[in-house]
Amino acid sequence: MIPFENATPVSGRWPVLATRAQMAQARTLAGWIALLAEDRGLDEHAVAAATKLDIEDVRAILGGVVLTTPLPVLDRALRRLEGRPH
């Protein structure tokens, strides 16, 4: 487990990804999203439209900053980008 797993609202940090395995999964999903976006020539706005995510979330994902993005959100975004049912 990483140190922020015991975070509280008082500390200003939330326990979104509590384990190294979850962080690795999040990075992998974000990496696939970025790879598909690059392969298809999609910019941030096109990825946001295809995945139904906020543009700031897309920028974070494409930038590899996925610490605060829940795994189900990343999974749904990848599924939408691939055209798979959710």
Looking up residue 31, the CATH number of its domain turns out to be 1.10.260
The total domain count for the chain is 1
pLDDT range class, residue 85, cuts 50, 70, 90: confident
In a domain? residue 47 = yes
In a domain? residue 3 = no
In a domain? residue 10 = no
In a domain? residue 1 = no
In a domain? residue 9 = no
In a domain? residue 11 = no
3-state DSSP of the chain: CCHHHHCCCCCCCCCCCCCHHHHHHHHHHHHHHHHHHHHHCCCHHHHHHHHCCCHHHHHHHHCCCCCCCCHHHHHHHHHHHHCCCC
pLDDT digits (tens, 9 = 90+) for 37-81: 999 999 999 999 999 999 999 999 999 888 888 999 999 999 999
Give the range of the structural domain holding residue 47, as residue numbers without chain letter. 18-82
Q: Quote the pLDDT of residue 58.
A: 95
Q: Quote the pLDDT of residue 78.
A: 96
pTM here is 0.77
